[in-house]
Chain A
């Protein structure tokens, strides 16, 4: 297949001028290029948000530190959180979805290529607006203030009275604009999955990655809406004299909390479901077995999608809801653990009886399983409302959600990077550096985030710019900081590996992992418009059928 595909590639006579290349990338509507733009953009912001995290950690290394002022510290954690969620993890996940969904369902592009480009550039604009605030957003402390209201911007802290100037305005508009971008991409993924599948691929044969991104997109449509509404109300408050959240004029602080978390909790699943999607493709290939319980995996994902819409107020157990509301959100929160647990069991079921190959993507996947298990269990601990009255707003929560986002999602993203890098670039990465990256990151991760639970138990609240030397706090925080630097070193190694392998890596060929889904049937990188002839599939693993004509999947499904 790769041969007839390269025949339609444009002949490379002379290298194009860099302006021409730039122009091509900026005006592209190709889903693969947009996917890569999303990913590079996310990696760029990862560096920014990582630096912010390190500043936070240096400041907290010991008690009464004055490495940065409280004003700067508050900006750092606000920007770190906002950036990581909206401008690192979301774009990277959208980038992979953009690149992979059409390829895996045998389509030549997304359903709406122009909308796709528009969505990317909106997201990009959002991130730039947010960071422009460092220069142009005046706030409580004069010109050039980044927002400092925390990534939830709880009312009334985000109101004009407490955040004068425009820094909070930049935050609001950045989220609003990137939210429009997310909605555009979600619509696009839904339309692509529903309308662009190749012949033979009915929904029950669709790769799980496409299924999960489909569910995720549905959740984006539901969850981004209240966020957008809330941001618009906040803008009305701030610039047109409204009083939705302006408590000094009778507005409601808890209304903002509800709006924010009706978005905020599903958001966690919007981020984690694509991570699940990576796992559902990678674990089978390196276990050499099909995914265990495909229909159950789809069902569990849809179940998570529904239940996760009714758990938001578990972020609000301390705001004084009555005992019935607290109990309701406790049971829904615990319930969301059931489909999540089922997914973990099915991945284990996939590995069970397999022949597991410990290539770098699989190492990160095993790390994901182990850490996501712990993250889920500390989540269950906090769903027990009275326990959460102690743990909420403490470093325990910070450790918990970093366990989800770093230990779970980021590990899955690393797995995805290593797994699809050969497809994206046509080159293999260095397996040796990949393993170094893995072990270094595992050590750094556990030093930081295992230890971080304990200061929370010892009474240390989050978001404090400095602290008293209470028993244990200093030692624990020092260990956490050292771990953070080890993680940073590991990430540098990762980026180095990506960059150097792009030129020096061995040629990958079409299918380096002996995998089973359609993206591995075309050349690496895939040609423009992916498929010279649209494939026809008869099972969930078309390449398995091709490689094992004597025992095709189509016989069992």
Chain B
């Protein structure tokens, strides 16, 4: 009785394991999920195809071997009627050994060929002339995005155009690191690739539909690795063009917030941050020239609201303990002024 119970639960475990796999696979993709089975770009979609194949093959192997295991546990259990006699002593069989060596070898050859084909298709894909270049630089604990041909520098929220399969405009990312290792991972758009100091890596994305795609740093990079989030905004061509031209403008110079600008320019903010048209040209922290065009602060750690912005400048540790921006100990008045100034940087 005890034994029958065990088999049931073994089977149930197996089934629930597979069910979980396929639930995850089948779950519909709400906007901005991070499900690897909700692809929205060729690399991610190709990987899903390969995953289905590999999962199917391994599921069959599992079904066969697990059934053999369950069968032998049920069939060959000791019974009271054995009366302590030993079963036939069998030492092995060359034919059987050969069979269960050759079959797995054939299976892995098939798996390997399927794998190698997709490695080549993704990694060695030629770069079309219309491709957009973006340089991604990983920092502890934020992302810098540079568009060398467009003269744009921004942070944490990557904008790229939708790629129409008829006229593909994929985005090719050049991945660098300013400090430790990081990894760029937006599951719906593609697999992850590391950003490693003294090394240039590449990956490409060709998003199929507009939307916000989420991801985050996947390679442990230090204290705030957990809040090094990524937002990719996939824009329609017109929206992307509008975003580009807005980013290419110099930072807004609003006479109403001169006091705040003065505070900014006379504290060490300028050693770490850049704002075009001001004295600030630091590169240790994110470029702030168009801070208000971003919906989050500090790599997704908080929403970009005036209250959060003020809190961030007052004490970054309150939002992201261990981040590399120090609390600047500004007076309340200076704090309000700087916040008001930054609020104008659309």
- The reply to whether the CB of A254 lies closer than 8 angstroms to some CB of chain B is yes
Interface hits, B16-70 → A, CB 8 Å: 16-17, 20-21, 23-25, 27, 30, 33-37, 43-44, 46-47, 50-51, 54-55, 58, 61-62, 65-66, 68-69
Taking a contact as CB atoms under 8 Å apart, the answer to whether B91 and A292 are in contact is: yes
Give the residue of B27, B65, B216, B322 whose beta carbon is less than 8 angstroms from that of A71: B322
Whether A351 contacts B72 in the complex (CB less than 8 A), given A70-B223, A154-B220, A326-B123, comes out as yes
Indicate the member of A73, A356, A467 with the most B CB atoms within 10 Å: A356
Taking a contact as CB atoms under 8 Å apart, the answer to whether A450 and B13 are in contact is: yes
Interface hits, B315-346 → A, CB 8 Å: 321-322
How far does the alpha carbon of A385 sit from the alpha carbon of B224 in the complex, in Å? 28
Interface hits, B91-113 → A, CB 8 Å: 91-93, 96-97, 100-101, 104-105, 108, 111-112
Taking a contact as CB atoms under 8 Å apart, the answer to whether A389 and B190 are in contact is: yes
- The reply to whether the CB of B179 lies closer than 8 angstroms to some CB of chain A is yes
* Minimum CB–CB distance for A295 against chain B, Å: 8
How far does the alpha carbon of A287 sit from the alpha carbon of B88 in the complex, in Å? 11
Please give, as numbers and ranges, the residues of chain A lying within 8 Å of B92 by CB-CB distance: 292-296, 346, 349
Residue of A nearest to B74 (CB): A356
Taking a contact as CB atoms under 8 Å apart, the answer to whether A373 and B20 are in contact is: no
Give the residue of B16, B66, B104 whose beta carbon is less than 8 angstroms from that of A370: B66
**A355-375 vs B: 1/0 string, CB under 8 Å?**
111100001001001100110
Please give, as numbers and ranges, the residues of chain B lying within 8 Å of A557 by CB-CB distance: 91
How far does the alpha carbon of A470 sit from the alpha carbon of B229 in the complex, in Å? 12
Whether A380 contacts B187 in the complex (CB less than 8 A), given A71-B322, A288-B86, A389-B47, comes out as no
How far does the alpha carbon of A373 sit from the alpha carbon of B190 in the complex, in Å? 29
- The reply to whether the CB of A8 lies closer than 8 angstroms to some CB of chain B is no
- The reply to whether the CB of B272 lies closer than 8 angstroms to some CB of chain A is no
Taking a contact as CB atoms under 8 Å apart, the answer to whether B220 and A157 are in contact is: yes
- The reply to whether the CB of B225 lies closer than 8 angstroms to some CB of chain A is yes
Taking a contact as CB atoms under 8 Å apart, the answer to whether A373 and B65 are in contact is: yes
How far does the alpha carbon of A472 sit from the alpha carbon of B24 in the complex, in Å? 10
* Minimum CB–CB distance for A253 against chain B, Å: 5
Interface hits, A379-404 → B, CB 8 Å: 380-381, 383-394
* Minimum CB–CB distance for A347 against chain B, Å: 9
Please give, as numbers and ranges, the residues of chain B lying within 8 Å of A369 by CB-CB distance: 69
* Minimum CB–CB distance for A11 against chain B, Å: 38
How far does the alpha carbon of A288 sit from the alpha carbon of B82 in the complex, in Å? 12
Please give, as numbers and ranges, the residues of chain B lying within 8 Å of A326 by CB-CB distance: 119, 123
Residue of A nearest to B78 (CB): A355
- The reply to whether the CB of B128 lies closer than 8 angstroms to some CB of chain A is no
Taking a contact as CB atoms under 8 Å apart, the answer to whether A463 and B119 are in contact is: no
* Minimum CB–CB distance for A355 against chain B, Å: 4
- The reply to whether the CB of B226 lies closer than 8 angstroms to some CB of chain A is yes
Taking a contact as CB atoms under 8 Å apart, the answer to whether A358 and B321 are in contact is: no
**Listed stretches A208-216, A333-341, A521-529; interface member:** A333-341
- The reply to whether the CB of A344 lies closer than 8 angstroms to some CB of chain B is yes
Interface hits, A24-79 → B, CB 8 Å: 69-71, 73-74
- The reply to whether the CB of A140 lies closer than 8 angstroms to some CB of chain B is yes
Give the residue of A69, A251, A353 whose beta carbon is less than 8 angstroms from that of B88: A353
| Interface size, chain B (Cβ < 8 Å) | 105
Give the residue of A288, A289, A341, A467 whose beta carbon is less than 8 angstroms from that of B226: A467
Taking a contact as CB atoms under 8 Å apart, the answer to whether B21 and A453 are in contact is: yes
Taking a contact as CB atoms under 8 Å apart, the answer to whether B191 and A386 are in contact is: yes
How far does the alpha carbon of A393 sit from the alpha carbon of B77 in the complex, in Å? 42
- The reply to whether the CB of A135 lies closer than 8 angstroms to some CB of chain B is no
Indicate the member of B58, B61, B118 with the most A CB atoms within 10 Å: B58
How far does the alpha carbon of A388 sit from the alpha carbon of B47 in the complex, in Å? 9
Taking a contact as CB atoms under 8 Å apart, the answer to whether A386 and B69 are in contact is: no
Whether A374 contacts B112 in the complex (CB less than 8 A), given A369-B69, A459-B36, A461-B185, comes out as no
- The reply to whether the CB of A331 lies closer than 8 angstroms to some CB of chain B is yes
How far does the alpha carbon of A150 sit from the alpha carbon of B180 in the complex, in Å? 13
How far does the alpha carbon of A248 sit from the alpha carbon of B202 in the complex, in Å? 21
Taking a contact as CB atoms under 8 Å apart, the answer to whether A353 and B198 are in contact is: no
- The reply to whether the CB of A323 lies closer than 8 angstroms to some CB of chain B is yes
How far does the alpha carbon of A373 sit from the alpha carbon of B68 in the complex, in Å? 12
Please give, as numbers and ranges, the residues of chain B lying within 8 Å of A248 by CB-CB distance: 197
- The reply to whether the CB of B115 lies closer than 8 angstroms to some CB of chain A is yes
How far does the alpha carbon of A327 sit from the alpha carbon of B76 in the complex, in Å? 42
How far does the alpha carbon of A194 sit from the alpha carbon of B108 in the complex, in Å? 36
Taking a contact as CB atoms under 8 Å apart, the answer to whether B122 and A386 are in contact is: yes
Other than the given A320-B193, A373-B62, 15 more pairs (CB < 8 A) read: A154-B219, A156-B181, A253-B181, A288-B86, A289-B87, A292-B92, A318-B193, A337-B108, A342-B97, A370-B10, A384-B54, A386-B122, A390-B187, A394-B218, A556-B91
When A and B form their complex, which 3 residue pairs have the shortest distance between CB atoms, in order from nearest?
Answer: A389-B191, A459-B34, A464-B226
Q: Which residues of B contact A (CB under 8 A)?
A: 2-3, 6, 9-10, 13-14, 16-17, 20-21, 23-25, 27, 30, 33-37, 43-44, 46-47, 50-51, 54-55, 58, 61-62, 65-66, 68-69, 72-73, 76-79, 82, 86-93, 96-97, 100-101, 104-105, 108, 111-112, 114-116, 118-120, 122-124, 175, 179-181, 183, 185, 187, 190-194, 196-199, 201-202, 214-227, 229, 300, 321-322
Q: What would 5 A/B residue contacts be, using CB atoms closer than 8 Å?
A: A254-B196, A319-B196, A352-B72, A390-B191, A393-B183
